[in-house]
């Protein structure tokens, strides 16, 4: 068990820094810069309760083969991880978060059509943590994050867990959530479900729709262009959530603080995908 006081001290060390992008100063909460109990970014926030009081037995969760949450949970607990069938090329050449999770002892369980991972997890005696750590225990660490912020913020939203709990605890400010993994209606439904499980407080972030079509995780020219622009400004970000969020943020001209949720460990595998798709600019070869 990790000492909660030690973890909180690490969480509170996350700085806010300024970056000049398109002629304007933007403030960024650099939650990616600390590492508590081997976990960084918003996953460290979400898993604070789990790290402080881990279950006696294994934990089970589900998601993609390169999930950041998968590695974070595996760093803390014995993990059964449910996923779609692993591609042959990845099985034969493990890399990225998939390789890291295996090295941590994660037991991958490939789901077959019609199988319910929660039923299988119960049969294995494992404590279930929803995909992306969208569970009530996430509130504790995210309240600490809210206490460190002052003013409006914008956050990438997968399950909407971070955005929901920030909106609940960040007083006299607006939290903007940019849907990345699901359309706005789906994101709202997920947040309403989690809100109902955690007291039905009814405080929600403002959801910012995208000005363009967006397919989660799929390499595209606009995302890599935004990613390279941020990199040139001295701001390293992930290549799944951040470029799309910044595209929306810049489109709306918001002056809100961007909450950097981490995920840099996945950049390597995403860049490889961009290279295979011939979407890397010719002058970016040194990135690989």
Residue % of the chain over a pLDDT of 90: 70
Residue 178, pLDDT score:
97
Q: φ, ψ for residue 24 (rounded to 5)?
A: -135, 145
Q: Identify the CA nearest to 110 among candidates 84, 136, 75, 148.
A: 84
Residue 42, pLDDT score:
86
Residue 281, pLDDT score:
76
Residue 68, pLDDT score:
85
Residue 280, pLDDT score:
86
Give the residue numbers marked as catalytic.
Answer: 67
Statement: residue 7 has pLDDT above 60: no
Range ranked top by mean pLDDT from 44-53, 63-72, 116-125, 212-221 = 116-125
- For 103-123, b where at least 16 C-beta lie within 10 A, e where not — what string? ebebbbbeeeeeeebeeebee
**pLDDT (average), residues 215-233:** 92
Other residues' Cβ atoms within 10 Å of the Cβ of residue 148: 15
Chain CA centroid to CA 71, Å: 12
Q: Binning pLDDT at 50, 70 and 90, where does residue 8 land?
A: low
Statement: residue 84 has pLDDT above 60: yes
Q: Output the average pLDDT for the chain.
A: 90
Residue 28, pLDDT score:
97
Q: 75 near 38, Cβ under 8 Å?
A: yes
What Rg, from alpha-carbon coordinates, does the chain have? 18
**pLDDT (average), residues 53-61:** 93
All structural domains of the chain: 4-38+137-287 (3.40.50.1100), 44-133 (3.40.50.1100)
Q: φ, ψ for residue 87 (rounded to 5)?
A: -55, 145
Query: Residue for token digits 């011939």?
Result: 278
**pLDDT (average), residues 217-223:** 90
Statement: residue 5 has pLDDT above 70: no
Tell me the residue ranges of DSSP E strands in the chain: 16-21, 24-30, 59-62, 79-83, 107-110, 127-128, 153-157, 175-179, 206-207, 257-260
What are the distances in angstroms from CA 266 to CA 97, 127, 148, 240? 7, 26, 26, 9
**pLDDT (average), residues 110-138:** 94
Q: How far is residue 232's CA from residue 236's CA, in Å, rounded to a whole number?
A: 9
Q: How far is residue 172's CA from residue 177's CA, in Å, rounded to a whole number?
A: 16
Residue 287, pLDDT score:
54
Strand partners, 259: 29
């Amino acid at each position: 068990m990790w000492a909660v006081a030690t973890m909180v001290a690490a969480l509170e060390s996350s700085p806010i820094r300024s970056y000049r992008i398109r002629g304007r100063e933007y403030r960024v909460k650099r939650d990616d810069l600390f590492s508590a109990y081997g976990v960084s970014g918003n996953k460290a926030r979400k898993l604070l309760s789990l790290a402080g009081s881990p279950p006696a037995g294994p934990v089970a969760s589900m998601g993609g083969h390169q999930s950041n949450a998968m590695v974070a949970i595996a760093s803390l607990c014995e993990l059964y991880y449910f996923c779609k069938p692993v591609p042959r090329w990845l099985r034969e050449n493990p890399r990225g978060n998939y390789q890291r999770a295996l090295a941590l002892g994660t037991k991958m369980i490939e789901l077959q059509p019609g199988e319910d991972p929660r039923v299988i997890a119960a049969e294995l005696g494992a404590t279930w943590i929803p995909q992306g750590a969208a569970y009530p225990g996430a509130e504790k660490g995210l309240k600490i994050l809210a206490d460190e912020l002052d003013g409006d913020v914008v956050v990438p939203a997968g399950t909407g867990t971070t955005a929901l709990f920030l909106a609940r605890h960040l007083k006299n400010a607006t939290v903007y959530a940019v849907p990345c993994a699901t359309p706005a209606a789906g994101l709202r439904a997920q947040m309403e479900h989690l809100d109902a499980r955690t007291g039905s407080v009814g405080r929600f972030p403002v959801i910012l729709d995208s000005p363009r079509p967006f397919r989660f995780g799929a390499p595209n020219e606009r995302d890599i262009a935004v990613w390279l622009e941020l990199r040139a400004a001295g701001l390293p970000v992930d290549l799944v959530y951040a470029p799309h969020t910044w595209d929306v943020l810049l489109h709306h001209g918001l002056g809100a603080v961007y909450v950097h949720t981490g995920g840099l460990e996945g950049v390597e595998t995403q860049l490889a995908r961009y290279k295979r798709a011939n979407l890397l600019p010719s002058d970016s070869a040194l990135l690989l």
